[in-house]
Amino acid sequence: MITSVAASHAKGKFATDNIFGANAAAVQAVAKYGKDSVTNATIGALLDDNEVLVCLPTVEKVLRGLPIQEIINYAPIAGLPDFQESVIDLAFAEQKPEAYVKAIATSGGSGVIHHAIWNYTEIGDTVLTSDWFWGPYRVLCEDKLRKLDTFSMFDEQQRFNLNSFQTKLTSLLEKQNNALLIINTPAHNPTGYSISDDEWTQLLDICKESAKNPDKRVILLADIAYIDFAGEKQACRAFMRQFSNLPDNILVILGYSMSKSFTVYGQRCGAMIGVSSNKDIIKEFEDINQYTSRATWSNINRGAQRMLATIHKDQALLAQVDAERDQGYRTIQERAGIFTAEAKQANLKMLPFIAGYFLTIPAKNPEAVCNKLHDDLIFAVPLGKGVRIAVCAVPSRKIKGMAAKVAAAMAAVE
C-alpha cells in the first residue's frame, strides 16, 4: 500500500500550529463557560475592549470607498507605482537613510521573508535569527531547504546579547558566503523588546566587520511588522538612518506589513524594501524579487495597495489613521502596563517588554504552565522556552489578576 506520492523534499512535512491549537481550546471554553469567564490571550490581532477585531475606521472608509475596479483588477507584479512610493515614505517616515531604496509589493511581511530566503541564500545554507522568534521563520527556511540557527537574544542581565550575535555570525560566515540575518524589531514578537539605537550601532559594526572580507555578504532583514505599534513614530524609526552609506556587500531589507499597521491582516499586503549604497545591487533587488513574485503569487491585492496610497497622499486621512492607530497602541500599552506591574508584585520574571502585541514569560515547561492556566480559563501560547501572552487581544479588565495566576500556575508545575 502506498502512503505517499509526494516529492522527496515534501514528504513528511506538516504544519503544526500551536497558536491555532491554543486558540481552539479557548474557543471551546467560551462555548462552555461564556465569553466573560474566559481570557483568550492567544490571538495575534488587535481586539477592542469588547474583544472584537479592530479595523481602523478610516481604513474601512477608504477601502469601502474604492471603485470596484480598483479592488478586483490585477496590479503590476512589483506593485502599483503609487504604492511603492507611498510605502517607502510610510516605512521610513523622516528617517530615510542615504542610500538607494526600492520597494516591491509582497504578500504581507511573510512574503518578504520568503523572497529574502529564496533569493539571498543557497540551498542548504543556514539563516540566523534570535532564539526568541516568530515560529514561521523556521517553516519558511525549511520549506525552502534552508536551516535556521539562533543566537541568544538576551544575556544574564536581560540585555540584547551582541556577543552571541557576533559569535554566531562569524562562525556562519566561515561556512557560507551569504549570511541572511532576520532581526525582528521594534516591538519584537514574542517578547516586545525593541533594539536601542546604540545596540543597532553595535550590531551594524559587527556586520561591517564581517563584511570587510569582500567574498562575504551580509543581508540584514529588519522585520518591522510591528513598527506602528512600537512608540513615537520618528523615535522608533531613528535606527533606520544608520543604514546610510553601508558597504556594498551589506544589503538591508525592511519587511513592512500592512497586517498590523493598517489592521488588514487577511488582505495579504506588505512590501520588501531594499536599501543599498550600490545602485546595481538595488536594480538586482528589484529584478530578482519581482521574478520570484511572478513565480510565487503573481501580483498582490490591488485594493490594499490603492488604499495605502490613497491614505498616504491625503494629509487629513493620514493624520486620522495615525490618530486611530495611536489609540490602539495606547490601549495595548495600558494592558501591558497592568500585567508588568502585577508581574513585579508576584515576582514573575518577564522578558524585557517595551511595546508590541505580545509579552513573554520564560518557563521551563511552557506546555504544563499553559495547561494549568486552563483551570483559571486563561489561554496563552506555549513557546519552546516560555509562555506568550497576546496583550493585543485581552481587555484590561481581564488582564487584572492574570500575572498572579501565571505565577501560581508556574509554582504549581515547575
Ligand X SMILES: Cc1ncc(COP(=O)(O)O)c(C=O)c1O
Residues of the shown chain interacting with ligand X in the complex, contacts defined by CB under 6 A = 44, 108-110, 134, 184, 189, 223, 225, 257, 259, 265, 270
Q: Give the whole-angstrom CA distance, residue 405 versus residue 395.
A: 16
Give least dist CB 303 to ligand X, A: 16
CB 217 within 8 A of CB 227: no
CB 211 within 8 A of CB 250: yes
Quick one: 153 or 281, whose CB is closer to ligand X? 153
- Cell 523615535, located at residue: 235
Quick one: 57 or 266, whose CB is closer to ligand X? 266
Quick one: 211 or 255, whose CB is closer to ligand X? 255
Give least dist CB 139 to ligand X, A: 12
Give least dist CB 188 to ligand X, A: 7
Three-state DSSP class for 207? helix
What are φ and ψ of residue 94, in 5° steps? -95, 15
- Provide the 10 A C-beta neighbour count for residue 254: 26
For ligand X, the nearest residue by Cβ is 108
Give least dist CB 180 to ligand X, A: 15
CB 38 within 8 A of CB 29: yes
Cell numbers found for residue 211: 563584511
Give least dist CB 256 to ligand X, A: 8
Quick one: 54 or 404, whose CB is closer to ligand X? 54
Percent helix, strand and coil across the chain, each rounded to 5?
A: 50, 15, 35
Cα dist from 241 to 85, 185, 227, 308, whole Å: 18, 15, 15, 23
Quick one: 346 or 381, whose CB is closer to ligand X? 381
C-alpha closest to that of 335 among 406, 397, 407, 380? 397
C-alpha closest to that of 183 among 243, 228, 137, 238? 137
Cα dist from 243 to 90, 222, 257, whole Å: 16, 11, 20
C-alpha closest to that of 251 among 159, 327, 179, 151? 179
Give least dist CB 395 to ligand X, A: 21
Give least dist CB 405 to ligand X, A: 25
CA dihedral 284, 184, 260, 290 (to 10 degrees): 10
CB 343 within 8 A of CB 307: no
- Provide the 10 A C-beta neighbour count for residue 9: 12
Quick one: 44 or 97, whose CB is closer to ligand X? 44
Give least dist CB 70 to ligand X, A: 21
Quick one: 44 or 281, whose CB is closer to ligand X? 44
How far does Cα 260 stand from its chain's mean position?
9
Give least dist CB 263 to ligand X, A: 11
Give least dist CB 159 to ligand X, A: 21
Q: Give the whole-angstrom CA distance, residue 261 versus residue 365.
A: 33
